[in-house]
Structure 1
Amino acid sequence: MKALSLQETGKFAYHTIAEPTPLAADEALVKIHRIGICGTDYHAYRGRQPFFTYPRILGHELGVEVVAIGNEVNHLKTGDRCSVEPYLNCGKCQPCRNGKTNCCETLQVLGVHTDGGMTEYMKLPADKLYPSALLNYEQLALVETLGIGCHAVNRAGITAADKVLVVGAGPIGLACLQFAKIKGAKVVMLDMNEARLSFAKNTMQADATVTVGLNNAEEIRAHFDGDLPTAIFDATGNPGSMMATFELAAFGGKIIFVGLFQGEVTFFDPLFHRRELTILASRNALPEDFRAIIALMEAGKIDTNAWITHRIAFEEVADSFGRLLQSGNQLLKAIITV
């Protein structure tokens, strides 16, 4: 069957791979219908993705159809449309035993540490599939993107009493915005991209936006009735941005790092202690996040249509990928049709 591999930085190649081997009792065979392109994929294409080796079949944001199931699988049937949880955990290590499967000690993420969904069919553990009779394949492919923001907001324990600043108006930051709004919090979005900020305010209902500049603290206070944010989500993966959050957080506030980079985060310890700040890392998502997002989407509380700015046929990806990166402000989320 046909697959598309990222052979090296900036170079894709189509090739033929073997059909999946027979199913184990707890596995399912799925046909890939839609693939979301993630920031991770763009970083890999540019040679900037941590923990990545070439060649690799990319693709972890997937909308799939079940075509066969193992004899111990009870929650699926052939023909089911599903979202895929792409985090393959061992189930035995300490975090897995404690319910933190998203940060398993030997975690393998599809399309990053092991081959992903840019192919025709995949064999997967059945418990990584989340069916929906109401959602289409495009919607299901976006569940994982939304899951990153959902998990971060849940991890921070956001409530309607919070004043939230989201730094970075890309897909992950926008997901944080969306779930903080669902919790009832007031949310301000900070970015340097005016087009993204306009989208955040006019489409995603951010309460206010601030353009990166010299007087950000004063502008942010103005939108929070003179207060600083009780929670800051940094979704940039930019070290300067991440370290600047220590000066923007309210006393007693929380900083949640959703983006990451290969390097060290440093801060002035007296500032950290004086404000009694809490720093949280947020990685991937949990099974309950997938189930909750699907329920919200089925109830019409999350609309993914506005997210999709580009649609590409599978056969066109190798030639189109570089051009996507040149789309600038026009690119939010691209979806591949297989």
Structure 2
Amino acid sequence: MKAVICEKPYALEITERPLPVRASGDVMIRIDRIGLCGTDYHIFAGNQPFLAYPRVMGHELSGHVAEADADSPLTVGARVTINPYLPCGTCIACRKARPNCCVNIRVLGVHIDGGMTEFVCVPEAAVIPVEGLTPDQAAMVEFLSIGAHAVRRGATGPSDRALVVGAGPIGVGVALFAAMAGAEVTLIDTSAARLDYARDFVGIPHTAVVSDDLDAYLKRRTDGDYFDIVFDCTGSARAIEKGFSYVAHGGRYVLVSVVKDTLSFADPEFHKREMQLIGSRNATAEDFRHVIDSIRSGAIPTDVLKTQGFPMLDLPDRIGDLIADQGKVLKAIVTL
């Protein structure tokens, strides 16, 4: 079978691999769609902190069941998505029913080879049926689940004024689910093109470009109080550190993105706000179910989230342009 492998930073190659051998308890999935996300771009560029090369990328997956145990509830041909966060089941996080931050977690496409290939075998518990969703919609479930999880981690509700920093796919997902939770959402980014798309097509009305006037605008927008909850979705240490100043007294700061850098902040400013600093990592089956239900209900405008699509085997020639033109890329999905 064919696969796309990142041998080292800036080096994607198409390779031939043997079909995976399914073990008892696993399910073989024929991959139909693979969403590209910031993690994949970071892997390509060499700045993903949890990865060793070479690696087959791909964790935003949709496909259909090719083979399963005889007693499995999953039927051959059923359309599915995959929860790519494979927990150990025994560590302290797993014992606390928080497998998304498992001590020994294996993430498809990061710690172990992912789904940028024709077939993949995963534990049955990681396979989630998505009846009624299209292949493209099924490939969007994972990245939207990251946003849904962050909103849940932040205990976001109707009384909140929320600031989402970063208008990439994760930030847009956070903004959508924060709005669904009843929060009044403001979305900011350095890219006017991304914000224009989020406002005009995705339906996020309040946006602002990062500029010298941003602080004054955000202060006016919140009557001088700033935001009850701030989400960072940038992957930028500088942006994360700046975000501390946008949290209201008594507010929460949710860090969704991951950076290699060491972060710093002013402890007096942190303490006088009695601020909560919250990490949000990956997503859980609960988040996946919430996203699937939201897509089925029509609450998520999946038709405008996909901005690019092309065959998987074209990726080595296309990924550089996708990274260079991020202002015009919300979600690229490759097909098999």
TM tier relative to shorter chain: over 0.9
Q: Deviations over 1:253-295 (max 9, x none)?
A: 0011111211211111111111110000100001100011101
Other-structure match for 1:19: 19
1:222 is displaced (CA, Å) by: 2.2
Other-structure match for 1:253: 251
Other-structure match for 1:8: 8
Any idea what SS the aligned residue of 1:35 has?
A: strand
Q: Deviations over 1:167-214 (max 9, x none)?
A: 111111111100001001100111111111112222233241122123
- 1:282 maps to a residue whose letter is S
1:319 is displaced (CA, Å) by: 1.8
1:46 is displaced (CA, Å) by: 1.0
Other-structure match for 2:60: 61
Number of residue-to-residue matches in the alignment: 336
1:252 is displaced (CA, Å) by: 0.3
**Equivalent residue runs for 1:79-118 within 5 Å:** 79-118=77-116
Any idea what SS the aligned residue of 1:323 has?
A: helix
Other-structure match for 1:38: 37
- 2:145 maps to a residue whose letter is G
Match of 1:138 among 136, 139, 144: 136
Other-structure match for 1:216: 214
Match of 1:172 among 151, 154, 170: 170
> TM-score of the superposition, structure 2-length normalised?
0.97
Match of 1:281 among 272, 279, 282: 279
Distance 2:262 2:325 in 1: 31
User: Bigger shift: 200-209 or 125-134?
Assistant: 200-209
- 2:69 maps to a residue whose letter is G
1:226 is displaced (CA, Å) by: 4.0
Distance 2:67 2:217 in 1: 55
Distance 2:75 2:174 in 1: 33
1:307 is displaced (CA, Å) by: 1.3
1:121 is displaced (CA, Å) by: 0.7
Query: In angstroms, what is the RMSD of aligned CA positions?
Result: 1.3
- 1:10 maps to a residue whose letter is Y
- Kept in 2: contact 1:162–1:230 (CA 8 A): yes
Other-structure match for 1:150: 148
Distance 2:271 2:252 in 1: 12
- Kept in 2: contact 1:27–1:73 (CA 8 A): no
Q: Deviations over 1:117-162 (max 9, x none)?
A: 1111111111111112200111000100101110000000000100
User: Bigger shift: 277-286 or 238-247?
Assistant: 238-247
Percent identity over paired residues: 38
- Kept in 2: contact 1:139–1:304 (CA 8 A): yes
- Kept in 1: contact 2:306–2:333 (CA 8 A): yes
Distance 1:159 1:122 in 2: 38
Match of 1:233 among 231, 256, 259: 231
Any idea what SS the aligned residue of 1:158 has?
A: coil
Distance 2:105 2:281 in 1: 11
Q: Deviations over 1:240-261 (max 9, x none)?
A: 1111122111000001111121
Gaps of 5+ in 1: none
Distance 1:13 1:221 in 2: 48
Other-structure match for 1:185: 183
Match of 1:297 among 295, 301, 305: 295
User: Bigger shift: 218-227 or 310-319?
Assistant: 218-227
- 2:12 maps to a residue whose letter is F
Any idea what SS the aligned residue of 2:248 has?
A: coil
- Kept in 2: contact 1:8–1:45 (CA 8 A): yes
Other-structure match for 2:50: 51
- Kept in 1: contact 2:202–2:301 (CA 8 A): no
1:229 is displaced (CA, Å) by: 0.6
- Kept in 2: contact 1:167–1:189 (CA 8 A): yes
Any idea what SS the aligned residue of 1:218 has?
A: helix
- Kept in 2: contact 1:23–1:70 (CA 8 A): no
Any idea what SS the aligned residue of 2:66 has?
A: strand
Distance 2:326 2:140 in 1: 21
Distance 2:326 2:121 in 1: 35
Distance 1:218 1:327 in 2: 29
- 1:43 maps to a residue whose letter is H
Gaps of 5+ in 2: none
